[in-house]
Structure 1
C-alpha cells in the first residue's frame, strides 16, 4: 500500500520547499529492519536542547543525543505517515535552525569583539613600550644635562687650581709641605673628574678645530706651519663627547711671505 502525506506550507521554507508536496513513502526502507513506532500520541513532545545549557562536554553530548532522537522520531513519523507528528517535528527543526542561526550570529559577534579587543591590547602594548622608551631617553637626557651643568660649575675651580699651581713658590720646608698637600688634593680632584669622563682638550701642536678650539689670535711663525696651535691661553674641556668649554688658543699663520717688489719699485730715480 502506498503511503503519502502533505507537508504543511508554513513549515516548508525550513526544508527549501516552495509549495506543498506529497512525498510517497512506497520505497522507503531501513535496510529491511522493522522499526517500532516512536510516536504514539499526536501531541508528543520531543526533547530539544535548551539555550540555558552551558558549553561543557556533557551539555554538548546531551544536545547531540536530543537531535539524534528527534531525527529518528522524524523518520519513524514519515514511515508511519503520521502527518501531525511530522509537522510538529518539522516545527522543532525550524526552531533548531533559528536557534543555530542565533548562536552563529552570537559566535560571530563574540569573535569580532575578541579580535577588536586583541587589536586594542596590541596597540596599547605598543603605546606602553614607546612611552617607556621615551621616558628612558628623557631620563638619560635629564641626567646628562644635570651632569653637564655640574661640571661646568666646577671648571672655575679647576682654573683656580691651575693658577695657584703656577704662582706657588717653594722656598722653605713648610712651603714644601703645603705644596705637597695641595698637589695631593688636586690629584684626587683630577682623578674624580677623569672618572666622570671629564678631560682636557689637546691644544699646542694640534691642528686648529673650530669645534674644539677658539682662536683668540693668530701669529706668523717661521717654524710652525699655518693652522697649527702655538699656544694655549685657556684650557678647554670635554665631557665624554660633549664640549663643555672650547680651548682658547693662538694659531700659527705660517712663515711670512716676503712681498716681491714690482718693476716700478726696482727703478730708482737718477740724481
Structure 2
C-alpha cells in the first residue's frame, strides 16, 4: 500500500519563480506555469485511475488487507475534504463579517464627511452673519444721510453722486453675499420677520397688513439678520356696502311705485263716477 501511495502526486503545484522585468520573460514564465499546472492535473488523474484499478483488483482477489488500506486512504481523503470545506465556510463567514465592517466604516466615514461639510458651511454662514449684522447700522446711517441731503450747487451734486455710487456698491456687495431685504408694506405681518412698534386704524388695509416701514430688515438665506420695524393696520379695512342699507333702498323704491299705482287707480275711479252721474 505504501508503494501505491507513493505513486499518487498529492502535492501542491510547483511555486512560481520571481518575474523578470522584461515582457518576454513574463510571457515565457506564464507559459511554463500553465504547462506545469496541466502536467499536475494529468498526473493526478492518472494516479486516481491507478488507485481505483488497484482497488478493483484487490476486491477481485479478495485481498482484505489491501482493500482496507485503500479504503482507509480514501477515508482520509474524505476527512480532509470535510476539513477543507469547514475551513472554506469559516473563511467565507470571516469574509462576510469583514465586508460588513468595511461597509460600516465606509458609511461612517461618508456620514462624517457630510457632517463636517455641514458644520463648515454653518461656521461660514455664522461668521458672515455676524459681520453683516455689524455692518447694518452703517447701512442705516447711509440711508439717513441720503434722506437728509439737499443738493443746491453743482459741487454738491458731484459729492452726492459719489455718495450714491458708494451706497449702490455697498448694496451690490450685500446682494452678492446673499443678503435680501425683508418685504414689508402691503404684506401680512409676520412675527418671525417683523417687529411691530405701532398699530393704526386704516380704511385702506385690512387688519394685520403692514402700513409703513421704519427700519429695514434683512435675511441671509434662511437666517434673519434683523427684523423690520413696521406699523401695522388695525383695520377695519376698505368700506363695504351694508346689506341693510341696500334692502332699505329697495323698500323705498317699492313704496314709491305702490303709491303711484294707488293714485292712478283713484283718479280712474273718479272719472268713471263723473261720467255715470252727469246731472249731479
Q: State TM-score, norm by structure 2.
A: 0.68
2:47 to 66, 69, 75: 66
- Partners in 2 of 1:254 and 1:237 — Cα distance? 27
Tell me the distance in 1 between the aligned counterparts of 2:96 and 2:42: 29
Match of 1:153 in 2: 134
Q: Is 1:79 matched with 2:60? A: yes
How much does 1:222 deviate? Answer: 4.7
| Alpha-carbon shift at residue 49 of structure 1 (Å) | 5.0
Tell me which residue corresponds to 1:246: 227
**Residue aligned with 1:248, SS:** strand
Give the drift of 1:181. Answer: 0.5
Q: Is 1:129 paired with 2:88? A: no
The C-alpha deviation readout for 1:73-99, integer Å capped at 9, x for no partner, is: 111122223333222222212221222
- 1:50 match: 10
Contact preservation (8 Å) 2:4, 2:51: no
Aligned length: 215
Deviation at 1:184, TM superposition (A): 0.7
Give the CA deviation at 1:204: 2.6
* Alignment of 1:101 onto 2:66: no
Seen in structure 2, the aligned counterparts of structure 1 residues 170 and 61 have a Cα distance that, compared at 3 Å, is farther
Q: Equivalents in 2 of 1:43, 1:52: separation in Å? A: 20
Give the whole-Å Cα distance in 1 for the aligned partners of 2:235 and 2:3.
120
State the match for 1:189 in structure 2: 170
Q: 1:94 to 1:53 in 2, by over 3 A?
A: farther
- Which protein has the bigger helix share? 2
Q: Which moved more, 1:137-146 or 1:177-186?
A: 137-146
Report whether the alignment pairs 1:88 with 2:69: yes
Tell me by how many angstroms 1:223 deviates: 4.5
Aligned pairs for 1:113-128 within 5 A: 113-128=94-109
3-state SS of paired residue (1:254): strand
- Give the 3-state SS of the residue equivalent to 2:3 in structure 1: coil
3-state SS, counterpart of residue 203 of structure 1: coil
Task: Answer whether contact 1:148 1:244 (CA < 8 A) is retained.
Answer: yes
The answer as to whether partners of 1:49 and 1:63 remain within 8 angstroms in 2 is: yes
Q: Deviations over 1:11-37 (max 9, x none)?
A: xxxxxxxxxxxxxxxxxxxxxxxxxxx
Instruction: Check 1:63–1:99 CA distance in 2 against 1; reply closer, same or farther (3 A cut).
Output: farther
Q: Distance in 2 between matches of 1:61 and 1:121?
A: 41
TM-score (norm 1): 0.70
